[in-house]
Amino acid sequence: MTTIETEEQFNDFIKNENVVAVFSADWCPDCRVIEPVLPEIEDAYPDFTFVEVDRDQFIDLCREYDVFGIPSFIAFKNGTEAGRFVSKDRKTKGEVMAFMEEVS
């Protein structure tokens, strides 16, 4: 998974690729719980590029995309939001896989 370093990089990804933006933070325990299964989810959906967006570093992006709980997942296709799995609750592998099925 690529870690976003600039807002411009984020915008380039969503304009040019099918992307799942994973909003998280180092201090977030729910983010650490889902982290070990993310490579498996990435492998299952090779048509998407998964990028990590640090909530603390990119608070303006979080506001722009109404991300108030983490971890949160937003899928983009052809530069447009295709779906979101955004809530304050802990996510399970099954829930993330179901989200990916919806946006694939």
- Tell me the sheet residues that pair with 50: 20
- Tell me the sheet residues that pair with 2: 51
Tokens found for residue 66: 């109404």
Is 28 noted as a catalytic residue in this protein? yes
* Catalytic entry in 4, 28, 61, 86: 28
Distance CA 63, CA 18 (A): 22
H helix or E strand, kind and range, residue 22: strand 19-24
* Catalytic entry in 14, 19, 22, 31: 31
Q: Return the active site residues.
A: 28, 31
